[in-house]
A and B are shown apart, each in its own frame.
Chain A
């Protein structure tokens, strides 16, 4: 991969980092501030006005979404060869898929709650991500959760990427983001987004959150040995309902249900029967139940002893 020519800027290339849908991401050094940044630049060969606008729109989306869970943009501009670039915080960490391998179920759920936070924030600002998947979620060195790659983002009814690239559509085999009339990643893309509906709203991201939760629950050695609890399965199912009206209506609602599950409270997505309810209450108040049970048992024994 040929490094971009950063002459005329205050940045120098350190090394190649990754490849995105629109171009490549490089680790660069900001020579003015003496810090490392991630620099995203469109490919030279594919450098068209449409792509340049799209990258700039991505930078603008990020710039408008100031949240601890969304990677901040530092700078944007044009290189000497005419290619558009933008610089963002360099996140040292792992993608979600790599991070959750040895995590316990409660830790995974707490992580999921934190993934929902920046999404809920973005939705409150009318931004829709449209390409949520484990590869686009980074866990930083300090445990911070960051939602990345807002290249397909859309604001309200207006598509930020109206100028779509007339190149490949969805690549099902690779699982990569397609760049055509249908944008997104198979397996994490809502049915309405896969159909190319123009009226896609923030609930398409709720579907993706459900798919990510499902992935998290079935990934890793801990998950392989244990069945997914029914309430969590129900949370996934509700988030991934084919009808957007049947889904959670916000990422916050979904996070609240996860929080309820974690605290031992009933979740809205699942109607438990009386036995499940008793088991949940026992599980939540196990020590108290055991203590009171022991006390009552002792009392019964005392009564029996007194009678004999």
Chain B
């Protein structure tokens, strides 16, 4: 699968899953829909950025580091906007970025142009 598409799909799925786990935190359960949408959008944005990076840079190590950095950065913005929950938001966000970074480098296919 195309690296960018793989990044977007994986980012969206993991982001949505990440958001849905908020259901287990009673104090934010009422905002669940907004959290899921926001988390999914965050995952998609991370997936696009990481997918584009994977297309340009063919390095598993750099892909993982970049994915982690993007995941942490986007999660930091979310946490900053919420004025809290830095650890609860940034750790999963970083891990999602790391997984997407690994997957795009390991399983994604480059463009036709790059493979020739």
Contacts and interface: CB of A to CB of B under 8 A. Distances in A.
Contacts of A291: 95, 98-99, 102
Q: Dominant SS at the A interface?
A: helix
A288 B103 contact: yes
A48 B14 CA distance: 78
Interface of B: 14, 18, 21, 24-26, 88, 91-92, 95-96, 98-99, 102-103, 106-107
25 contacts: A287-B106, A288-B102, A288-B103, A288-B106, A288-B107, A291-B98, A291-B99, A292-B99, A294-B95, A295-B92, A295-B95, A295-B96, A295-B99, A298-B91, A298-B95, A299-B18, A299-B21, A299-B92, A302-B21, A302-B24, A302-B88, A303-B24, A306-B24, A306-B26, A307-B24
Interface string A280-308: 00000001100110110011001100110
Contacts of A298: 91-92, 95
How big is chain A's contact interface, by range?
10 to 19
A306 B96 CA distance: 20
B95 A306 contact: no
A294 B96 CA distance: 11
B95 A303 contact: no
A105 B99 CA distance: 30
Interface of B (DSSP majority class):
helix
Interface of A: 287-288, 291-292, 294-295, 298-299, 302-303, 306-307
A46 B104 CA distance: 66
B14 to A, nearest CB: 8
A228 B18 CA distance: 43
Nearest to B98: A291
A307 B18 CA distance: 17
A298 B88 CA distance: 10
Contacts of B18: 299
Contacts of B91: 298
Nearest to A307: B24
Nearest to B87: A302
Nearest to B18: A299
B88 A287 contact: no
Nearest to B14: A295
B25 A306 contact: yes
Contacts of A294: 95
Contacts of B92: 295, 298-299, 302
Nearest to A296: B17
A303 B102 CA distance: 25
B102 A287 contact: yes
Contacts of A302: 21, 24, 88, 92
B69 to A, nearest CB: 16
Contacts of A295: 14, 92, 95-96, 99
Contacts of B96: 295
A264 to B, nearest CB: 12
A307 B96 CA distance: 23
Contacts of B14: 295
Contacts of A307: 24
A281 to B, nearest CB: 13
Nearest to A305: B88
The 8 closest A-B pairs by CB, nearest first: A303-B24, A306-B25, A295-B95, A291-B99, A299-B21, A306-B24, A291-B102, A295-B99
Contact of A303 (B21, B98, B99, B106): B21
A156 B107 CA distance: 44
A303 B26 CA distance: 10
Given A295-B95, A298-B91, A302-B88, 5 more contacts: A288-B102, A294-B95, A295-B99, A302-B21, A302-B24
Nearest to A302: B88
